[in-house]
Structure 1
Amino acid sequence: MADSNLFTVLPGGKKYPLLGLGTWQSESGKVRHAVETAIACGYRHIDAAYAYANEKEVGDAIKAKIDDGTIKREDIFVTTKLWITETHPGRIEPCCRESLQNLGLDYADLYLIHYPVSLVNDKGSFPLGEDGMLIGDDSIDYIDVWKGMESLVDKGLVRAIGVSNFNTSQMQRILDLPPKHPVANLQVECHPLLAQNELIELCKKHGITVTAYSPLGSPERPGDKSTEPVLMEDPVVCAIAKKRGVSSAQVLIRYQLQRGVVVVPKSVTPSRIQQNFEALHFELSKEEMQELIDLNRDHRLLDFPMGKRLKYYPFGNQN
């Protein structure tokens, strides 16, 4: 497949591989092998985060593949994220530096604000009140967090910055600043049931790349899933997969690739990591793409329920 189909381009010209390996919920003791396997398969994009608590294993895997000559540092694109307990102006740079130390890197290719909300920073990474809801720090505005992120670019700690889980109005508020450094990327939940058309159009208008997390419907997500749709068992997805002789996961990955959306499926199983990578090697027809597009019902599977009372909660009306 042509090089232009494997990459999108960030503001400034940096190539951003369209397919990456996600590491959310990748089990300790398994994620290093998963990342090493992915790099050996040909992946050149790893999506990490401070909050995933596995950056050290991710970094060990990258180092191992550099040391064995499979890749050079410049060959691999690494994204990580600022967690929402670390958004106070005095904590942004230390959090970034801690992530870089964990990853064994001098810089991150892309650094994202994980959510537009902020939490108190003296009660652990997930501070909960007696009601089971997260305890917010309403004194922090994500606009000020963005300005702190911009200083990381100035200091060479990160090459590009972006946001995750922001809605259209929150995106527009940053764009209206205007930002000193461009918003390079928006990472959001995205799959055929939640197509994110409005956000994607906004991003296209402003030259912002979009990354889809949970592209397979996040079957291992926390919470009660008994009444929720199972995306990889959807009849339309399964029919296309059967016709093509591929997996449902490959169909869902390919759907994003053909939309020009970066996609970061998670797996720690070597055979699935390889199989997911092979989604680069076939194309869906216009008719098949339309069938998948028609599945959209703006149905969110991960609505961050513990954060619904937080200022700047991005997913609808606060409760």
Structure 2
Amino acid sequence: MTMRKTIAAASAARLISKADPDAPALVAIGRDAVAIRAGTVFGGRRFEVETPVEIKGALVVGADYGVTVSAGRARAWQAGGIPDGDDVLGGFHYAPGGNALARSGGDDMPAINPCSLWDVAFRPACPDPRGMALVDKPGGRFWCDIYLTGQDCYLSGTSRYGVTIADGDSCPIDGATSERFPRFDYAAAVAAIAAHGKGLLGLDEFPAAAFGVTEKTSCKRDPKTTGLDAPRTSRFGIMQATGNMWIWGHDGDPDTPRASLFGGSWLSDGYAGSRSALVACRWPGISGNFGARGRSDHLQPAPRRDSGDVRKGASR
């Protein structure tokens, strides 16, 4: 299903009204609670005051949650697929650690990532909002994958906790052939991410997404799997943002973007950080210890209808 068809298919979905259309209908309360903002109207109910969401079961580290409003009741449940349906208000991600507050990384206490909160009228433009965080940068907003792209991204999505990181030794599946890419070079990274309606980070986007990490440091060893590296968590909760894997990106040219590498690897140490970049790389065909990370435009449609994917597969 193309992005245009995905959005068109949602045209009959339920309306939402918010006191502040420039913010999600959901708000994080501390590390492990979520509420619906006062002034939100959804699912036949007007939430006059900030209203806590009932969370089904204990929160699971690294999991994504959908929030539904049914019969006037707001509940959160672990999403086994893309949250969908007329009763879905939005969702959030429960991260293994907290976001950076300054420029020395985050912490190792599990928390709802406040930048991951989305609703049907405030979300990524790609079909799957799970595992993404909203990044504010001068001149606009975009959504960024919280985790490095996984080897199994073709089946489970590009941003998942605790999975093998895609690189030259662990190539993901090519959706065009249903076989693994022979190399994880720039072209393969572009194709793997594009299959999910996302793109690679540009030169102006990566420093914004990675801001808040401990600069000029690395994790010292091959991370192998996606997860928490607290000193290199960003302000927006982007995990393993720097000093873990060089990631494929581009130089930002709108017509002919050229391959670039960002962030530094576990071998970089003093060279790693939010401003570490090899721009307009002359060797886009190289493959090795290079990963990827997806990004998506911010979708805030008007009228404010559900622009989510209509595919099934969510568990409640």
Q: What is the TM-score when the length of structure 2 is the normalising length?
A: 0.25
Q: What is the TM-score when the length of structure 1 is the normalising length?
A: 0.25
More helix by share: 1
More strand by share: 2
